[in-house]
């Protein structure tokens, strides 16, 4: 079969996907410059409205104008499991709103609906289009630039505040509208995308290495332990899956030395951000954040033990919040049934990723971005965030479901591709 390697999607749509995935990283520092010290920023509100409005336009286009969306069997199974998982969580949300409202804060239901459905689920549906190799390369190129400018702007604003004595961010680098956890995640993904792009953009290695360095600095200065550990785990998985024993040995020696040297240099260059103490206290008795999360983990497990099949409540009862561990949250809210569906979904996702790699004779294909990024967000979900608000994870899963490295809608389709 002759393959036409033209993109399946327009550049406008692919820019929208990148903007929906990582645009807030760029919008947040701009909003801080335009409207500092204000509770609500019109720019961030406009960003959310633009993403939602774009999703509605592309959904309309998908269903009523361009109806040719194709997906292979593995992708279809994964996407159906995704929809079923959201159905389970929706049932939990409705049940809690109707019968356990006295256990929830006044704004909890509205927050879950706004975050889960208007910010995540509706845009998620708009991404259900066929993607090929060209689409993914363009998508992750745009994502790299968005993240690079966003992280640089945030670091520059913080540096300016530190130099003029107006810094009020405490011991972890962040901005008014971009908390340390989000900054750490965006910086880590910037590093991952730079690492992946180097394998297919050999002429831009110096620029990409600079982006990776900026990403690493952002991770260290943010003090986001979850982002730091998740990035290390992704690197370990990547090295173990490809390298020889000699390279693994060198990596195991150089990685901790490099991390220690980086943390030490950051503590000297930016003394206002106590990087060393922040990482040395990680998980210890003096780490108040970690101690609270341990209590939330215990509370979530206790709720699961009380209702192991269907779950107990969408939030942890004592702190009235999600427990900052997405696996425990799923067990707490939807029980074994929810975790079984979620686990099976991820099995199909990684089977699809393996299939994408096998279909492409080039080992350095754009599918590596999907593998690295989805691994990062799965690891990061063990440390913070709610599963309904895991925007990047859900968007990436949909893109994986509908990806086919050598498939174009402009040519005859393989027999294993089916229309939905």
| 6: in domain | no
**pLDDT above 90: percentage of residues in the chain:** 46
Residues 215 and 242 both lie in one domain = yes
> What per-residue confidence (pLDDT) applies to 410?
41
Is residue 47 in a domain? no
Is 301 found in the same domain as 413?
yes
Share of the chain above pLDDT 70, in %: 79
Domain count, the chain: 2
Average pLDDT, the chain: 82
> What local confidence, expressed as pLDDT, does residue 7 receive?
64
The verdict on 347 and 376 lying in the same domain is yes
Indicate whether 12 belongs to any domain. Answer: no
pLDDT at 1: 36
Is the same domain home to 149 and 264? yes
pLDDT of residue 186: 96
Nearest to 361, CA basis, from 416, 405, 413: 405
Examine the domain organization and report whether 146 and 226 are in the same domain. yes
Beta strands 417-419; 70-72: pairing state: antiparallel
Q: Can you tell me which residue has the tokens 């899956």? A: 241
pLDDT of residue 415: 33
The residue-averaged pLDDT of 403-410 equals: 62
User: Using 50, 70 and 90 to split pLDDT, how confident is the model at 393?
Assistant: very high
Q: Is the dihedral of CA 123, 193, 148, 376 positive or negative?
A: positive
Q: Is residue 48 part of a domain?
A: no
State the pLDDT at residue 89.
Answer: 94
Q: Residue 356: give the domain boundaries.
A: 68-130+283-420
Mean pLDDT for 292-299 is: 89
Q: What are the backbone dihedrals phi and psi of residue 327, each rounded to the nearest 5 degrees, phi first?
A: -70, -45
d(CA 121, CA 365): 28
pLDDT tens digit string along 71-110? 888 899 999 999 999 999 999 999 998 888 778 877 888 8
Q: What is the 3-state secondary structure (H, E, C) of the chain?
A: CCCCCCCCCCHHHHHHHHHHHHHHHHHHHHHHHHCCCCCCCHHHHHHHHHHHHHHHHHHHHHHHCCCCCEEEHHHHHHHHHHHHHHHHHHHHHHHHHHHCHHHCCCCHHHHHHHHHHHHHHHHHHHCCCCECHHHHHHHHHHHHHHHHHHHHHHHHHHHHHHHCCCCCCCCCCCECCECHHHHHHHHHHHHHHHHHHCCCCHHHHHHHHHHHHHHHHHHHHHCCHHHHHHHHHHHHHHHHHHCCHHHHHHHHHHHHHHHHHHHHHHHHHCCCCCHHHHHHCCCCCCCHHHHHHHHHHHHHHHHHHHCCCCCCCCCECCCCECCCCHHHHHHHHHHHHHHHHHHHHHHHHHHHHHHHHHHCCCCCCCHHHHHHHHHHHHHHCCCCCCHHHCHHHHHHHHHHHCECCCCCCCCCCCCCEEEC
> Considering 280, 309, 325, which residue would you say is the last residue of a domain?
280
Q: Are residues 191 and 110 in the same domain?
A: no
Q: What is the mean pLDDT of residues 306-322?
A: 91
pLDDT digits (tens, 9 = 90+) for 283-295: 556 667 778 888 9
The tokens for 72 are 């292979």
Domain C-terminal end among 247, 280, 313: 280
Overall average pLDDT of the 308-326 stretch: 91
CB 332, CB 323: distance < 8 Å: yes
Residue-level pLDDT at 225: 84
CA dihedral 12, 18, 24, 26 (to 10 degrees): -80
- Regarding whether 324 and 367 lie in a shared domain, the answer is yes
pLDDT in tens, 207-230: 998 999 999 889 988 888 889 889
Predicted TM-score (pTM) above 0.75: yes
Among candidate residues 234, 259, 280, the one where a domain is terminated? 280
Token pair 């999703």 is found at 55
Residue 16 belongs to some domain of the structure: no
In this predicted structure, the answer to whether residue 409 has a pLDDT above a threshold of 60 is: no
pLDDT at 257: 64
**What is the torsional sign of CA 51, 52, 53, 57?**
positive
């Amino acid at each position: 079969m002759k393959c036409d390697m033209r993109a399946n999607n327009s550049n406008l749509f692919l820019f929208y996907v990148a903007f929906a995935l990582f645009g807030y990283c760029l919008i947040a520092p701009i909003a801080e410059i335009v409207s500092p010290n204000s509770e609500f920023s019109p720019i961030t509100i406009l960003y959310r409205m633009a993403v939602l409005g774009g999703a509605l336009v592309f959904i309309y286009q998908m269903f009523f104008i361009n109806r040719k969306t194709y997906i292979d069997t593995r992708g279809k199974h994964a996407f159906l499991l995704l929809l079923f998982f959201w159905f389970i969580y929706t049932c939990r949300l409705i049940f809690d709103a109707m019968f356990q409202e006295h256990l929830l804060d006044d704004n909890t239901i509205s927050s879950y609906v706004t975050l889960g459905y208007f910010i995540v689920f509706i845009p998620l549906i708009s991404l259900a289009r066929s993607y090929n190799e060209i689409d993914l390369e363009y998508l992750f190129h745009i994502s790299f630039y968005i993240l690079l400018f966003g992280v640089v702007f945030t670091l520059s604003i913080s540096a300016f505040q530190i130099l003029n004595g107006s810094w009020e961010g405490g011991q972890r680098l962040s901005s008014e509208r971009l908390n340390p956890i989000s900054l750490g995640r965006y910086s880590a993904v910037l590093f991952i995308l730079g690492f992946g792009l180097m394998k297919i953009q050999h002429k831009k290695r110096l620029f990409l290495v600079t982006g990776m360095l900026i990403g690493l600095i952002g991770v260290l200065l943010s003090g986001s332990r979850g982002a730091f550990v998740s990035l290390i785990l992704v690197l370990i998985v990547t090295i173990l899956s490809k390298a020889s024993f000699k390279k693994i040995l060198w990596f195991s020696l150089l990685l901790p030395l490099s991390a220690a040297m980086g943390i030490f240099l950051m503590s000297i260059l930016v003394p206002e951000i106590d990087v060393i103490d922040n990482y040395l206290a990680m998980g210890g008795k003096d780490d108040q954040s970690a101690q609270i999360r341990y209590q939330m983990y215990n509370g979530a497990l206790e709720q699961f033990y009380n209702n192991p099949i269907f779950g107990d409540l969408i939030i942890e009862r004592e702190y009235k919040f999600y427990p900052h561990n997405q696996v425990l949250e799923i067990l707490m809210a939807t029980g074994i049934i929810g975790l079984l569906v979620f686990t099976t979904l991820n099995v199909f996702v990684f089977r699809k990723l393996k299939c994408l790699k096998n279909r492409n004779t080039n080992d350095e294909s754009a599918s590596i971005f999907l593998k690295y990024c989805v691994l990062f967000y799965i690891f990061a979900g063990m440390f913070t965030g709610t599963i309904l608000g895991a925007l990047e994870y859900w968007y990436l899963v949909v893109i994986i479901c509908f990806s086919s490295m050598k498939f174009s809608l402009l040519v005859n389709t393989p027999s294993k591709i089916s229309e939905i």
